[in-house]
Amino acid sequence: MARMRIGLAQLNPIVGDIEGNTRRVREMIERGADSKIDLIVFTELVITGYPPKDLVLREQFVDRNIKAVNDLAEQSRYGPTAVVGFVDRNKENKGASLYNAAAVLMDGRIATIAHKSLLPTYDVFDEHRYFEPAESTTHFELSVDGRIHRIGVTICEDAWTDESCFAGRRYRRQPVAVLGNAGVDLVINLSASPFVVGKQMYREALIANHAKSIHRPVLLVNQVGGNDELLFDGASFVCDAAGKTVHRAAAFREELSIVELVEAGNCHGTLNAYPENIASIREALVIGTRDYVRKCGFENVVLGLSGGIDSAVTCAIAVEALGADNVLGVSMPSRYSSDHSVTDALALANALGIEIRTIEIHQMHTALENELASHFEGLPPGIAEENIQARIRGNILMALSNKFGRLLLTTGNKSEIAVGYCTLYGDMCGGLAVISDLPKTTVYDLARHINAHAEREIIPQSTIEKPPSAELRHDQHDQQTLPPYDMLDAILHHYVELDESVEDIIAIGIDEQTVRRIARLVDTNEYKRKQMATGLKITSRAFGVGRRMPIAAKF
């Protein structure tokens, strides 16, 4: 019986680092050769890293990525056949347009090149900005022990829709279906499919449907690691011809895993468990934080610790990502700070084993108030006075960041960023917003999970239990300004993630006045989010490149 051994190479490329990425592709191919595999499949645009964004508009960038693939091809004489994602030029118009492509490297040459047919241009994706769609599908033949295997090549979105999406549309047909009709033995898919909570189940169901409808196994290799706001979870997998997941690689780490195709439609592999939802969020934020910090060239980070839940969770993630020695916490109490704001911050630092410094803001606060007193005379105190304190803290944290070369982490959650319950240039200061896509209720869930996962109290119980407060005036509490967080998060889910109208949200039974007020807050705070730090995306709709709202607007 003819067997084919296939390697699924899920790498964590650095965007733009053509030389480094290519070197690691080469190492993986060599490891694959040692493991006697016949075919090794890499991820989408592995040579450039995904998404390369406007780097692909640079001629030299495309030149160098093509040269890298040609070099790899020469070295393919003795190793397994390799399928590698890269940016290809359209030769028909002298390179005036580009393709998102996969090169099949075999016997010392490029045997064929497949181009992506369906170009996602929604949410965080801009592929029509860069690429031209393929006109037709591509497959290649691979001879193993005298038997010829016909292997169809697809790239990410090509397999992301089923036939039903094409009804009434004017696109060409579904690429996997076309390959099935062409009689291939196997379809492979090179992916860079960003993590969203719960998405892996959807991915596997989708690929299972393809496999069942063409009666052939389908293999998907997914990128791993964080690139700016996008997190990739790996968890590459194979569905057999019956649509059963017979192989699943590890989630959230680099791996070369191997699956064996034993006869048409049957495969042997290894089934790694995919983490539960809340654990997947933790792992996604950990890899996203580690990769952003390291890929930006930093070793360590600094963040403010208020004793509250947001900074506590952010800090715990940072420690898991970078190690306790690389995280510095700063407590900055003011005249409005409660005692527990300091004690809870110290307890957290102690539990995590990180250094914490205390810097009083009283003197600076007074100096600023004195200087502004004559200008503010006769006006009641309000938001302006509250923000001043948050901005003094931002100034201190940035001074420490600049002085010691530590990246500043910002700690805002999705609920407060949505309604603008945060200070621009104050607590919004920082290079990376670790939990900016977590609604406040999820932040609490994650805090409890962090303690359960560690089997000890990392996030102080008092931090979890006390009512949340910005502590920018006496006896301030979030719920003086905002509705209860479970109601707020429900409204935001419908309004931001599902893009539903105010009327639709009222119709599901939430208080009309509250819905209207929150929707208006979301709309009018677009200007703050315009200037927010890069935030790690974990939901289907995060603030950032996937949500492009006008600022000077009225609706």
Residues in 157-216 at the binding interface with a copy of itself, rule: CB under 8 A = 167-170
Select which of 27, 36, 94, 116 is catalytic. 116
The token duo for 90 is: 């359209």
Interface with a copy of itself (CB under 8 A), residue from 23, 58, 147, 477: 58
Spatial contact of 250 and 8, defined as CB atoms under 8 Å apart: no
Count of positions on this chain that bind a copy of itself (CB under 8 A): 97
Q: Edge to edge, what strands does the sheet with 186-191 contain?
A: 138-144, 147-155, 186-191, 218-222, 237-239, 245-248
The token duo for 413 is: 């959650």
Quote the least distance from Cβ 484 to a copy of itself, whole Å.
26
For the question of residue 44 being annotated catalytic, the response is yes
Interface with a copy of itself (CB under 8 A), residue from 34, 36, 135, 378: 135
Interface with a copy of itself (CB under 8 A), residue from 126, 141, 445, 497: 126
Nearer to a copy of itself, 139 or 393 (CB): 393
- Cβ-Cβ contacts under 8 Å for 29 (sequence gap 6 or more): 40, 72, 75, 76, 79, 80, 82
Q: Which residues pair with 232 in a beta bridge?
A: 194, 225
Residues in contact with a copy of itself, shown as a per-residue x/- string from 505 to 534 under the rule CB under 8 A? ----------------------x--xxxxx
- Cβ-Cβ contacts under 8 Å for 484 (sequence gap 6 or more): none
The interface with a copy of itself within residues 239-268 (CB under 8 A) comprises none
Candidates 69-77, 85-93, 265-273, 448-456; binding stretch for a copy of itself (CB under 8 A): 85-93
Nearer to a copy of itself, 82 or 390 (CB): 390
Quote the least distance from Cβ 256 to a copy of itself, whole Å.
23
**Cis peptide bond upstream of 51, omega within 30:** yes
Chain centroid to Cα 36, Å, comes to: 33
Helical axes 485-492 vs 440-454, angle rounded to 10°: 110
Quote the least distance from Cβ 472 to a copy of itself, whole Å.
12
What distance in Å separates the CA atoms of residue 443 and residue 464, rounded to the nearest whole number? 10
Nearer to a copy of itself, 129 or 215 (CB): 129
Q: Which residues pair with 544 in a beta bridge?
A: 547
Interface with a copy of itself (CB under 8 A), residue from 26, 31, 61, 336: 61
Spatial contact of 463 and 349, defined as CB atoms under 8 Å apart: no
Chain centroid to Cα 535, Å, comes to: 9
Helical axes 383-404 vs 362-376, angle rounded to 10°: 140
Give residue 323's identity as a one-letter amino acid code.
G
Interface with a copy of itself (CB under 8 A), residue from 1, 34, 36, 94: 94
| Residue 7 touches a copy of itself, criterion: CB under 8 A | no
Quote the least distance from Cβ 527 to a copy of itself, whole Å.
6
Nearer to a copy of itself, 11 or 259 (CB): 11
Interface with a copy of itself (CB under 8 A), residue from 14, 33, 177, 262: 14
Spatial contact of 210 and 159, defined as CB atoms under 8 Å apart: yes
Select which of 44, 127, 283, 386 is catalytic. 44
Interface with a copy of itself (CB under 8 A), residue from 224, 396, 459, 542: 396
What distance in Å separates the CA atoms of residue 362 and residue 341, rounded to the nearest whole number? 15
What distance in Å separates the CA atoms of residue 30 and residue 286, rounded to the nearest whole number? 29
Nearer to a copy of itself, 180 or 426 (CB): 426
For the question of residue 156 being annotated catalytic, the response is yes
| Residue 335 touches a copy of itself, criterion: CB under 8 A | no
Quote the least distance from Cβ 516 to a copy of itself, whole Å.
14
Nearer to a copy of itself, 246 or 388 (CB): 388
The token duo for 257 is: 């895993």
The interface with a copy of itself within residues 478-507 (CB under 8 A) comprises 499, 501, 503-504
* Cα-Cα-Cα-Cα dihedral sign, residues 422, 423, 427, 430: positive
The interface with a copy of itself within residues 397-456 (CB under 8 A) comprises 398-400, 402-403, 424-425, 429, 431
* Rg for the chain, CA atoms, rounded: 26
| Residue 461 touches a copy of itself, criterion: CB under 8 A | no
What distance in Å separates the CA atoms of residue 372 and residue 389, rounded to the nearest whole number? 13
Interface with a copy of itself (CB under 8 A), residue from 184, 186, 364, 470: 364
Interface with a copy of itself (CB under 8 A), residue from 224, 349, 392, 488: 392
For the question of residue 30 being annotated catalytic, the response is no
What spatial distance separates the first Cα and last Cα of the chain, rounded to whole Å? 65
Spatial contact of 346 and 355, defined as CB atoms under 8 Å apart: no
Quote the least distance from Cβ 49 to a copy of itself, whole Å.
7
Spatial contact of 385 and 358, defined as CB atoms under 8 Å apart: no
3-state secondary structure of 131: strand
Interface with a copy of itself (CB under 8 A), residue from 145, 146, 370, 378: 370
Select which of 127, 132, 156, 315 is catalytic. 156
Interface with a copy of itself (CB under 8 A), residue from 255, 291, 320, 416: 291
Nearer to a copy of itself, 503 or 511 (CB): 503
Q: Which helix (H) or strand (E) holds 66?
A: helix 59-74
Quote the least distance from Cβ 112 to a copy of itself, whole Å.
20
- Cβ-Cβ contacts under 8 Å for 141 (sequence gap 6 or more): 148, 149, 150, 151
Nearer to a copy of itself, 23 or 147 (CB): 23
The token duo for 332 is: 């900055």
- Measured in residues, the chain has a length of 555
Nearer to a copy of itself, 1 or 167 (CB): 167
Candidates 14-22, 69-77, 311-319, 468-476; binding stretch for a copy of itself (CB under 8 A): 14-22
3-state secondary structure of 163: helix
Nearer to a copy of itself, 88 or 204 (CB): 88
Q: Could you list the active site residues?
A: 44, 116, 156
